[in-house]
Structure 1
């Protein structure tokens, strides 16, 4: 196995990880601040991808497509929070699961009704297409490098928002003691709407960015949502830093596992059996990682002690 292939797969894992972080960061914010299990979070990922594809096709501008995806996902999140989610805070988690699962069906059928049943395609803009030469003569797609940089920039901006602004102080305080900040005069309803819209916007941005390297189709958000839940369990519920570290671990484990595990099994089996066994174990690798982390730290890597 060549060094070039390993470096390329590491970069692929980082790109996958930072996109997962955008999903997981919004999800952990919503759960950490609001205590809400939101199965419909993947629907905002799908909305961002579909809106970006439609706007890019209509205007030819990839930047406008990203802005539209952010606005559409945030607006959808705010409306859902005010109309549906606000009635679920006092209920138990089973009611939240059932209600947000119903939202998945509503969003899926609504998206199919508006955009049709066939996949859409979002083209990579010309100024981001083609490969770039990295040190050592490695050729790597410019767009994937841009995704890594964009994800890191958004993560830094989110950290600054949470740690360095008044709104961030309110969000962190709401996570620890919502009754107290309500008593201090903070409008908890507006804060919850803001947090939910922010989480939805991050998911929508992730969907729009990834939509240029895969087909945009109904139901595309649910597999990513499962991985996002794995990320926040590994990183620790409510921790943005944990979501970032967990996303990178999941991205690298999933990508590198698919390369190295079949090669490892070839040392003990014939080629066809080794490929099948290695692929099967690779598909389970992130869940094995999650199990190991939970055995070591039941609250996740950066989760608060119960």
Structure 2
């Protein structure tokens, strides 16, 4: 493989990895931006999305059904959890949210183990994306190109949703001043439920998309939750654009680090985070404390 072909394939690999990380990071940052909740269950919901996607694929025989339905199922579960549990805690100390969402992560993890068993489950990629294409005469999986395209489409869709949709405007208004938004007639409780559900659904979308690459396994939650928090810290808590930039940085560091210095790849990710925090303590696009 020549140098240019290698660089191009590695760059596309990094972009596909960044797309998966973006779904995690943007869901987490949407929840924090509005609700100031650090959702420790985010990785578990990512894992739940992968397993629900597995069952839907097996039941329907169609991966596209799983891709469309699993995020909705997990999103509705998240909205129901916010309505039943989190809504009672808004006037309490922030530590209450940490404990409750950590408890949710444990419950979801045990429920997944009891329902689907301890073994990793393979989710086949759709036939349409099972082949390869050639980049400078080098084969490259079509599925990874699909991940890149999906990441771009979802990023643009979320941006347009936040900028132009009525619910997006309500989310932005509520995140800036919930009391004023409530005084103007906005149902803040309903907006919070919607945002928590959307954030959980985005995590599940990442899980469904990752399953054909890494299989659906009980270890998925622990693997990705650290990456999700690193992305949000790098980009700035509550910043949509920051989560996108953070996902790109982490994705490229992981891919190139794992190739050149696999033993130090994780350390490089933390070094990037520390370097950014030394210059911008609130993250790249976050508000300074």
| TM-score under structure 1 length normalisation | 0.91
CA distance in 2, matches of 1:299, 1:36: 17
Could you tell me which residue of structure 2 aligns to residue 62 of structure 1? 63
Report the aligned-residue RMSD: 1.3
CA distance in 2, matches of 1:5, 1:69: 35
Shift of 1:90: 2.0
Match of 1:274 in 2: none
Q: Which residue of 2 aligns with 1:29?
A: 30
Query: How far apart, CA to CA, are the structure 1 residues paired with 2:168 and 2:72?
Result: 20
Contiguous gaps of at least 5 residues in structure 1:
263-278
Please give the secondary structure, in 1, of the residue aligned with 2:283. coil
1:239-262 CA-partner distances (Å, limit 9, x unpaired): 1000001100000011111223x3
Q: Do the aligned partners of residues 25 and 298 (structure 1) sit closer, same or farther apart at CA in structure 2, a change above 3 Å counting?
A: same
| Aligned equivalents of 2:193, 2:150: Cα separation in 1 | 25
Name the counterpart of 2:240.
240
**Counterpart residue number, 1:4:** 5
1:138: how far off? 3.0
Aligned to 1:175: 175
The DSSP-based 3-state class of the residue aligned with 2:139 is strand
Residue 109 of structure 1 deviates from its aligned partner by 1.1
Alpha-carbon distance in structure 1 between the residues aligned to 2:265 and 2:184: 50
CA distance in 2, matches of 1:287, 1:22: 20
SS state of the match for residue 213, structure 2? coil
**Shift in Å at residue 137 of structure 1?**
2.2
Superposed CA deviations along residues 50-105 of structure 1, whole A, max 9, x for unmatched, are 01111111211011011221121111111111112212222223222111111111
Larger Rg: 1
Query: C-alpha displacement at 1:117, in angstroms?
Result: 2.1
Q: Distance in 2 between matches of 1:17 and 1:56?
A: 24
2:86 is aligned to 85
TM-score using structure 2 length: 0.96
Match of 1:40 in 2: 41
Q: How far did residue 219 of structure 1 move?
A: 3.6
| Number of equivalenced pairs | 288
| Superposition map of 1:1-306 within 5 A | 2-134=3-135, 136-260=136-260, 262=261, 279-306=262-289
Gaps of 5+ in 2: none
**1:17 and 1:248 in contact (8 A); partners too:** yes
Judge conservation of contact 1:47–1:72 (CA < 8 Å) in 2.
no
How big is the shift at 1:184? 0.6
Measure the CA separation in 1 of the matches of 2:160 and 2:145.
23
CA distance in 2, matches of 1:248, 1:22: 12
Report the Cα distance in structure 2 between the residues aligned to 1:300 and 1:210, rounded to whole angstroms: 27
